Amino acid sequence: MKLKQWLSQTQVSRSEFAKRLGVSKSVVTKWCNGEVMPRSIPLIAIYRITGGLVSPNDFYNLAGLVASNDADSDKGRCAGADDGASAAA
């Protein structure tokens, strides 16, 4: 869930949320609008305050991404990995 959506659904104002995090309202607005991404400590605080409903993935749009070797059945190697056989001697 996006932070903007969580704030709307819970009827928590940006000002109140900013106070809980110890940041300015303008910073929360920039997060909501995707203008800037929160750093790691605010990300953890956001996750905790929202009960896990807003996670780092929600800021970075990581949901649904799969690591390349998850779909690569070649002994867990990353896609395109070279075993060194083609390296010049």
Over residues 54-89, the pLDDT tens digits come to: 998 888 766 555 555 544 445 555 555 555 554 544
The domain containing residue 40 runs over which residues?
A: 3-58
> Average pLDDT, stretch 39-66?
85
Amino acid 60: pLDDT? 79
Q: Which CATH number do you get for residue 21?
A: 1.10.260.40
Identify whether 47 is part of a domain: yes
Is the predicted pLDDT of residue 43 greater than 90, yes or no?
A: yes
What domain count does the chain have?
Answer: 1
Identify whether 81 is part of a domain: no
Identify whether 89 is part of a domain: no
Identify whether 82 is part of a domain: no
pTM of the model: 0.67
Identify whether 32 is part of a domain: yes
Q: Among residues 17, 4, 12, 2, which one has the least CA distance to residue 53?
A: 2
Is the predicted pLDDT of residue 49 greater than 80, yes or no?
A: yes
